[in-house]
Chains A and B, each alone.
Chain A
Amino acid sequence: MTFVSNIMIFNPPALQMTNLRKTYRGRVTALRGISLTVQEGDFFALLGPNGAGKSTAIGIISSLVLKTAGEIKIFGVDVDKEFSRAKSLIGVVPQEINFNQFETVNDIILNQAGYYGIDRPDAQKRAEKILKQTQLWDRRDEISRNLSGGMKRRLMISRALIHEPRLLILDEPTAGVDIEVRRSMWKFLTDLNKSGTTIILTTHYLEEAESLCRNIAIIDKGKIVENTSMQLLLRKLGAESFIFDCTSSISTLSKLGDHQIRKLDDHRFEVTVNQGENLNTVFEELSKSGIKIQSMRNKSNRLEELFLGLVAESA
């Protein structure tokens, strides 16, 4: 929402999908009428198991997949009516590497700029800026097939950003990259989002979605089974398990206050805390028993538990 003098202007959503359907020629139905709205400035996660329809939805938004029915608007621009204008507002980072393996990094970026109507001198300036941001400037004359996996991913992101899209869609951008590269990409994407770019992300790393995204939709078997904020979704989790590492033996321990414990070995145990409960009594009982805690961690990814629960419900 923007205020101009005393007039209140409602900005159209970055993405509005209405009753989107897709049935492939082999009569496989990938999308069964999904509707989704992503507000401007959001960092949005689209999650789902393999074959749920995520890539089909992204394919339709980016025009690589032809929809069977439904409507898509990008910042209020109808994709069917103003195809070129809508396309210029989106940047897409696909799941698979899809640049010319025989071209240099610089040529890939400059060509992409040209397809978006950016003339050569301007494209060269933009390429320098974006390649420096993604730490590929020193490799600009390298043939792209010689780049490492992480560099190829960064090149795909650079290419998608060359025309400065207002909406960036990333389909599993960190698949197969090491932790260091993944973390640096998270930082880059977070900064990009802070600068005003709306981001939609699909990922299999639920930790990634939990760390980066404010809102989330879970898609399964071509339907949206959940669409809410990350905060609200995590609140739905009824219980959470923690693992404690102790400096002394816990052989005499059987219960901690009202909490049942499960011994993992002589120095480690697991406690499950239900919604509304807290860990204070656990710490008090441990202090009384003279057991010192060395470390404590979540047993598993919280979002993963929720995700599996929601997908199982929809089955």
Chain B
Amino acid sequence: MQSLKKTQWIGLKTIIRKEITRFSRIWMQTLLPPAITMSLYFILFSTILGPRIGEMAGFDYIQFIAPGIIMMSVITNSYSNVVSSFFGAKFQRHIEEILVAPVSNEIILLGYIVGGVCRGIAIGFLVTLVALFFTDLSIHSYTVTFAVVLLTSTLFSLGGFLNAVFARSFDDISIVPTFILAPMTYLGGVFYSVDLLPSFWYQVSLFNPILYMVNAFRYGMLGHSDINVTYALLAIVTFVVLLTTICLDILKRGTGLRT
């Protein structure tokens, strides 16, 4: 009998391969739409609105918002990949294929999260390529840029996993992205500097975790952030650890998966 470690490793590779194959196979639904949507943002803000708005924090407007738009696509796609894939597996009941097998809860979670991260990064890369048609982008800090992309896509993949576990219908998997994620993203400093906000709204914005991710990523690319980058990275890591703990506990209890 082969070692348990090898069994788990092959199990992990299988889940990741399956997840990547899934979103690649349906690229018309998963990869193309965000690239087109973000292209529209770039067209609007680079040629029509951007020049009228002028500079923001010392950068061209399109240059200022490009990191935020990239991060927005990473967030929404890593979330939606895991929520739709895991809920789909629950809905069709083929999640039972994994649940009856000797795959540990940690590996199940890791497999789905890596799948979400891969889609988030793939979309982030595509949107960056699109952005290069409209503005010059350079990377101020590779470490911060990649750490933020990795941590943020991990965090929102975990969020998607939680949503999928508790969802009972397709309505349930669209509520969070529509009513919580989208407003938080648009109000998370993607299109503006929070320094422009009145004091009250500035303080309110500090409770929005997406503000920290967008600003940390903007720092990685432009070297500018409205928020202390160390605090931002610490906040993201804290959320990742918290959600990982919750997800593993839920898997252990079998909530939403085992009756």
The interface of chain A, by Cβ under 8 A from chain B, is 24, 59, 62-66, 83-85, 87-88, 90, 92, 94, 96, 98-101, 107-108, 111-112, 114-119, 159
Check if B102 sits within 8 Å of A64, measured CB to CB: no
Tell me the smallest distance from the CB of A86 to a CB of chain B, in Å: 8
- CB of B182 within 8 Å of the partner chain: no
- CB of B8 within 8 Å of the partner chain: yes
Q: Contacts A66-B254, A84-B4, A98-B93 known; A116 to B102 CB distance under 8 Å?
A: yes
Check if B94 sits within 8 Å of A88, measured CB to CB: no
Check if A101 sits within 8 Å of B259, measured CB to CB: no
Q: Looking at the complex, which one of A66, A87, A118 makes contact with B100 (CB distance below 8 Å)?
A: A87
Q: State in angstroms the CA–CA spacing of A64 and B101 once bound together.
A: 10
Q: Looking at the complex, which one of B89, B98, B258 makes contact with A115 (CB distance below 8 Å)?
A: B98
- CB of B6 within 8 Å of the partner chain: yes
Tell me the smallest distance from the CB of B249 to a CB of chain A, in Å: 15
Check if B89 sits within 8 Å of A85, measured CB to CB: no
Chain B residues lying within 8 Å of A115, measured Cβ to Cβ, are: 11, 14-15, 97-98, 101-103
Chain A residues lying within 8 Å of B14, measured Cβ to Cβ, are: 111, 114-115
- CB of B99 within 8 Å of the partner chain: yes
Q: Looking at the complex, which one of A24, A62, A92, A118 makes contact with B259 (CB distance below 8 Å)?
A: A24
Q: State in angstroms the CA–CA spacing of A117 and B89 once bound together.
A: 20
Chain A residues lying within 8 Å of B7, measured Cβ to Cβ, are: 84, 88, 116-117
Q: Looking at the complex, which one of B92, B98, B101 makes contact with A101 (CB distance below 8 Å)?
A: B92
Q: State in angstroms the CA–CA spacing of A108 and B8 once bound together.
A: 18
Chain B 1-29 interface mask (CB, 8 Å, partner A; 1/0): 11010111111011101100100000000
Check if B258 sits within 8 Å of A114, measured CB to CB: no
The interface of chain B, by Cβ under 8 A from chain A, is 1-2, 4, 6-11, 13-15, 17-18, 21, 89, 92-94, 96-104, 254, 258-259
Chain A residues lying within 8 Å of B99, measured Cβ to Cβ, are: 63-64
Which of B11, B17, B102 has its CB near the most chain A CB atoms (within 10 A)? B102
Q: State in angstroms the CA–CA spacing of A94 and B15 once bound together.
A: 21
Q: Looking at the complex, which one of B10, B89, B94, B96 makes contact with A119 (CB distance below 8 Å)?
A: B10
Q: Contacts A100-B94, A111-B14, A116-B7 known; A87 to B259 CB distance under 8 Å?
A: no
Q: Contacts A64-B258, A119-B10 known; A98 to B104 CB distance under 8 Å?
A: no
Check if B6 sits within 8 Å of A117, measured CB to CB: yes
Known: A62-B100, A90-B100, A115-B11. 14 other contacts (CB 8 A): A84-B4, A84-B7, A88-B1, A88-B102, A92-B100, A111-B97, A112-B101, A114-B11, A114-B13, A114-B17, A115-B103, A116-B7, A116-B11, A159-B97
Check if B92 sits within 8 Å of A118, measured CB to CB: no
B21 to chain A: closest residue by CB: A107
Chain B residues lying within 8 Å of A118, measured Cβ to Cβ, are: 10
Q: State in angstroms the CA–CA spacing of A115 and B108 once bound together.
A: 10
Q: State in angstroms the CA–CA spacing of A78 and B18 once bound together.
A: 31
A-B pairs, 6 with minimum CB distance: A114-B14, A117-B7, A115-B101, A84-B102, A98-B93, A87-B102
Check if A64 sits within 8 Å of B97, measured CB to CB: no
Tell me the smallest distance from the CB of A163 to a CB of chain B, in Å: 8
